[in-house]
Amino acid sequence: MAKPKALIVRAPGTNCDIETAYAFELAGAQAVRVHVNQLIEKPTLADSFQILCFPGGFSYGDDIAAGRIAAVQWQTKLADVLSVFQTQDRLVLGICNGFQIMMRLGIFFDADEETPSATLTWNTQGRFETRWVHLKPESDHCVFLRGIDQIYLPMAHAEGRLLMRDDQASKEMMARKQIAVRYCDPNGQTGNEALEFPVNPNGAQWNIAGICDPTGRIFGLMPHPERYLDPTNHPSWTRQSNLPEHGEGLKIFKNAVEYFA
């Protein structure tokens, strides 16, 4: 199998691009980090890539709103590049700030909708929060989550609370299988009622930690899978002897690579 190529697009303020590129390389892909200005200057750089990734960090310092400036750049200067990844059999992944950028772009929802079905806003506690969380995928519909029953990952964000527009939007997202992964307790229990902090670390509606588009090829989540690739990343690695050879986050990147097998 030829290695699929992953395009990791960084911007001023992005700070997780190196770890994300390493994660894709570890999973078997060829990862290339490209500054957004390089892509704007030469959009054809993206033509040879099968995977597009918006990594975590604080693009443009989140000066207006998390992900807003980067999203405007893509909307005004790179819309054709984005459309290729949306409409062809390719994958798109957004992590934390990358997920925020994707939400601002509206690529998870029908472009004809006057207002998006969901948004990301400030955590309920109104501050930046960093901790480890348990996650429960809804199904194998999302390419990146196939074969994962439960996963433990770190999160670090201030604007990660997902809220849906109204009851109708909630029903439509459920019907389209767009609710991809939820916060859960250590036993895997989740649901539509908001779990208490810190199990649900930001107050997200329905405990939602990540969503996908209706095809399952475009996925965004707030926790950081690239920050748990090795047992030594685990908060209890010095005290827990039965940790697996690789961190649980690696499976998300391997699923992307295996999609092109």
Of the residues 138, 159, 172, 226, which is catalytic? 226
Question: Cα torsion at 10, 13, 15, 16 (round to 10°)?
Answer: -40
> For the chain, which domains are there?
5-258 (3.40.50.880)
CB 107 within 8 A of CB 56: no
First-to-last alpha carbon distance for the chain, in angstroms, is 6
Q: What is the pLDDT of residues 229-258, one digit of tens each?
A: 999 999 999 998 889 899 999 999 999 999
Of the residues 16, 224, 234, 248, which is catalytic? 224
62 vs 70: CA distance, rounded Å: 9
Rounded to an integer, the average pLDDT of 206-235 is: 97
Is residue 138 part of the annotated active site? The answer reads no
User: What is the distance of C-alpha 117 from the center of its chain?
Assistant: 17
Residue 35 has pLDDT above 80, yes or no: yes
Question: Cis omega (within 30 of 0) on the bond before 198?
Answer: yes
**Band of pLDDT at residue 2, cut at 50, 70 and 90:** confident
Rg from Cα positions in the chain? 17
In sequence order, the 6+-apart residues with CB closer than 8 A to the CB of 19 are 55, 226, 227, 229
Is residue 234 part of the annotated active site? The answer reads no
Is residue 226 part of the annotated active site? The answer reads yes
pTM (predicted TM-score): 0.96
Determine the pLDDT at residue 1: 61
Q: What is the largest CA-CA distance in the chain?
A: 52
Which of 182, 225, 5 has the alpha carbon at shortest distance from 94?
225
Of the residues 16, 19, 53, 96, which is catalytic? 96
**Band of pLDDT at residue 112, cut at 50, 70 and 90:** low
